[in-house]
Structures are given as structure tokens and as C-alpha cells.
Structure 1
Amino acid sequence: MNFTPPDKSIEAVQADLVKRFTHFDNWKDRYKYLIDMGKTLPDLAEERKTESNRIHGCQSQVWLAIQEHDGRLYMQAKSDAAIVSGLIALLLKVYNGRTPQEITDAPLDFLGEIGLLQQLSPNRSTGLYHMIKRIKAEAQARQSA
């Protein structure tokens, strides 16, 4: 796992993602971009594909491994579905390498600005919600520890 802290604020990363997605005129191109983001996810070692790392509530298989290093949370994730992999990659761009406080304080408005919430199927929206819920719950648990 790469333990390099992000060089941009969460707000700057979110603004950049909004700019990138809204650059495309139609959802076919936005989905292609999302799928391409998912293809950049590094492989997740088999030993990390455990039941405790699995995100429940997703229609596809999704694993999220979170490790704390120097007060920051570093994440690796993988899915067996292309669009879900893209959603994970999107979330990791925002949350990976952040402090628990930054993660719990981060607004999610950018998902609406991208138009993603309106475009996802109900099953994918539920899966995205469960991924965000898991990341935020891990951050909150480490804040109170």
C-alpha cells in the first residue's frame, strides 16, 4: 500500500472531479470515463478479499481494505464490476490518505454536481451509499478510539 498523503485538499479534488466529469456532454462519455478510472485501481491481494473487507449491500462483489498509517487512512479496493470499480476509484481519489477528521467532515455535494446520483441505477446508488457509509464509519471509529 502506498502511504503518500494527498497533495490537494478534499475540496480541490472534488472540484477537479466535477470539472472532469462535466467536461463530457453526455452520460455515455461520463460512464466511459468512470469505467476508465476503475481500470486504474491496483489489484487487491487475495488475502485482503476477506468477508470483513467485503462491502455488504452492493449487488456486485466489492472489497475495501483500510489501513491507518501516521494518523491517515489509506485504502485499497476492488470490485468485479466495471462501473462499481469506477465508483470506488472516484471515492478513493477523494478519501485515500486523509485523516479521519477530514473524511467525516467531507461534504458529498460533488456527487450531485457531477450528476452521478441522478444517473445511477437504484442498485448502484445503494452500493455507492454502502461504500461511503463504510469509509465514513471507519473514520468515525478511529476518531473516537
Structure 2
Amino acid sequence: MAEKLNKNKIEEYENFIEKKLKRDLAEIEEILEKKYENYSHWADLKSLIQGLKLQQNEEKEYDIAVDMGCSVFAHGRIEEENVVFVNIGCECYLPMDYNEASKYADIRIKVIEREMEHYRKLAVQVKMNIKLFLLAIEELNTNFNN
């Protein structure tokens, strides 16, 4: 009877690890990957703005090529050098000068860093739970074999 209880408990723990904990870990890692992408976009914007600030006194006009999708580019010229349009969410673009855009990018980067830290901590907790259950399974196996 005790052997059957141990077998059932081991099976229950293994199922919990596979069906719940590993799935939770995969979801957290997927969210983290999206956060890293978002972080990368804001860091790119920040470096672009810094580059534009450096070139601000050198040139008055910029030639650009905007990807319209499917590798189709629209060529254009930017004549106003002090304004950049920043996507603030929901595909809503707000005109900002370089300093405003840089500050806004800094704020978004800090928020994303806090979110990533939160999800990293969650991932560590799930990994600790997996290890805890694996240790419990190992303990049940040693008791079962003795």
C-alpha cells in the first residue's frame, strides 16, 4: 500500500512539473524575450537620437528610406532637424525634440528593465520549484527502493 502511495505521489509530482511548472517557465521566457525586443527598440531609438544630436549642426537635410513592408522602401528627405516622431503606444506618434525623445526613451528603458527584472525573478522561483519537486521525487524514490 505504501509503495502504491509513493508511486502515485511520484507520478503526481512529475505531472505537475511537466504540465504546470515547465509550461509556466516557457511562458515567462517568452514574455522575457518580448521584453528584450522592446528594450532593444528603445535602446536603438536612444542611440539614433544621440547620433542625430551630433549631426544637428552639420547638415540641414537628411535623406531617408522608410521600409513600407515586404522590403519596399519609400525615399524621402527630412528638412526639419529638431523633431522626431515617437510611437508612444497604440500606433500614436508624438512629435518631440531630441531632448524630450531621449528622456522619454530613458523612461521607457527603465520601466522595461524593471519588468525584465520581475520576470527574471519569477523564472528563478519557478526553477527553484522544479528543483524542489525533483528533490522530493528523488527522496520518494530512495524511500521506495529501501
Q: TM-score, normalised by structure 2?
A: 0.27
Quick one: higher RCO (CA 8 Å, sep 6+), 1 or 2? 2
* Structure number having the greater helix percentage: 2
Which of the pair is proportionally richer in strand? 2
TM-score (norm 1): 0.27
